[in-house]
Amino acid sequence: MKRKYRNEKVKVGDWVYVGDYMYDSKCKYKVLGIEKDRVRIIVEVKDNDEDRPIINGWPTETKKTDCKLPSGTLGWFVRSWEKVKKRCLNIE
């Protein structure tokens, strides 16, 4: 099923599914930064074995952005994203 990317408003710490060209991610990614123009976001690349051939990440220290990124992590620029919807489990 092809995901529809609405590029909803997100904040740092939110979880998103990402689209990269003609690829829909199988893993969820945590938002690390939002660029000032809000055209793209930066997500943390971690534990993404299913997506690694396409979304492999780069060290956050090596890219210049207008966001403060934590060092020692891998990041990825994203132009298409869909916010992960939270679901409540009603366990009694």
Give pLDDT tens digits for 33-76: 998 887 889 999 998 889 998 899 999 998 888 788 888 999 99
Give pLDDT tens digits for 7-20: 899 999 999 999 98
Considering the entire predicted model, what is its pTM? 0.84
SS (H, E, C) the chain: CCCCCCCCCCCCCCEEEEEECCEECCCCEEEEEECCCCCCEEEECCCCCCCCCCCCCEEHHHCCCCCCCCCCCEEEEECEEEECCCCCCCCC
